[in-house]
Amino acid sequence: MPITDLRFFPMVHSPFRMSTSRIVDSTCVWLPINKVQTIHSGKSAVMKCASEGHPIPSITWILANKTHISAFSIENEAVSLHSDGTLLIKKVSVYDRGIYTCRADNPIGSDTTAIRLQVIAPPPIILEDKKQFVLETMGRSLKFPCTVKGDPHPTVHWVFPDGTEVKPLHYLSDKVFLFPNGTLLIKNIVPSDSGKYECIATSSTGSERRVVLLQVEHRDIIPQIAATSQRWTQLNFGNRLLLNCSAIGEPKPRIMWRLPSKAVSITEKDAGNYICVARNRMGDDLILLKVSVTMKPAKIDHKQYFKKLVPYGKDFKVDCKASGSPEPEITWSLPDGTTINNAMQADDSGHTLKKYTLFDNGTLYFNKVGMMEEGDYTCHAQNTLGKDEMKVQIKVVAAAPRIKQNLKAYAKIKTGDDAFFDLCPKVLS
Considering the four listed CATH numbers 3.50.50.60, 3.20.20.80, 3.40.47.10, 2.60.40.10, the one that applies to the domain covering 221-294 is: 2.60.40.10
How far, in Å, are 88, 124, 135, 198 from residue 145 at the CA level? 39, 15, 16, 11
Between 379 and 428, whose confidence is greater? Answer: 379
C-alpha to C-alpha distance for 375 and 174, rounded to whole angstroms: 68
Q: Is the pLDDT of residue 313 over 80?
A: yes
Q: Is the pLDDT of residue 25 over 60?
A: no
Residue 374 contacts residue 399 (beta carbons within 8 Å): no
Read off the pLDDT of each residue in 211-240 and give the average, rounded to a whole number.
86
Average pLDDT score, the chain = 81
pTM of the prediction? 0.40
CA angle (350, 355, 357) in 5-degree steps:
100
Considering the four listed CATH numbers 3.60.70.12, 2.60.40.10, 2.30.40.10, 1.25.40.10, the one that applies to the domain covering 125-217 is: 2.60.40.10
For residue 180, give the nearest of 152, 154, 212, 142 by alpha carbon. Answer: 154
Q: What is the pLDDT of residue 415?
A: 79
Read off the pLDDT of each residue in 53-69 and give the average, rounded to a whole number.
91
- CATH assignment, 297-343+353-397: 2.60.40.10
Answer yes or no: same fold for 35-120 and 297-343+353-397. Answer: yes
Read off the pLDDT of each residue in 182-202 and give the average, rounded to a whole number.
92
C-alpha to C-alpha distance for 329 and 144, rounded to whole angstroms: 63
b/e per residue 369-383 (b: at least 16 CB within 10 A) = beeebbeebebbbbb
Q: What is the pLDDT of residue 8?
A: 37
Residue 210 contacts residue 131 (beta carbons within 8 Å): yes
Q: Is the pLDDT of residue 368 over 50?
A: yes
Task: Output the DSSP codes for 233-256.
Answer: EEEETT-B----EEEEEESPPEEE
Contacts of residues 159-166 at CB distance under 8 Å and 24 or more positions apart, as own/partner, are: 159/197, 159/198, 159/200, 160/195, 160/197, 161/194, 161/195, 161/196, 161/197, 162/195
CA angle (46, 51, 56) in 5-degree steps:
125
> What's the start-to-end Cα distance of the chain, in Å?
119
Residues 6 or more apart from 139 whose CB is under 8 A from it?
188, 189, 190, 221, 248, 250
Residue 268 contacts residue 294 (beta carbons within 8 Å): no
Taking domain 35-120, whether its CATH number is 2.40.30.110 is answered by: no
For residue 210, give the nearest of 156, 145, 130 by alpha carbon. Answer: 130
Beta bridge partners of 279: 254, 284
Q: What is the pLDDT of residue 19?
A: 34
CA angle (161, 167, 171) in 5-degree steps:
90
Task: Output the DSSP codes for 32-95.
Answer: ES--EEEEETTS-EEE--EEEESSPPEEEEE-TTS-EEETTSPP-SSEEE-TTS-EEESS--GG
Question: For residue 185, which amino acid is it?
Answer: L
Q: Is the pLDDT of residue 22 over 80?
A: no
Which residue ranges make up each domain of the chain? Answer: 35-120, 125-217, 221-294, 297-343+353-397
Q: Residue 397: pLDDT band by 50, 70, 90 thresholds?
A: confident
Residue 243 contacts residue 164 (beta carbons within 8 Å): no
For residue 100, give the nearest of 60, 54, 71, 129 by alpha carbon. Answer: 60
Question: For residue 277, which amino acid is it?
Answer: V
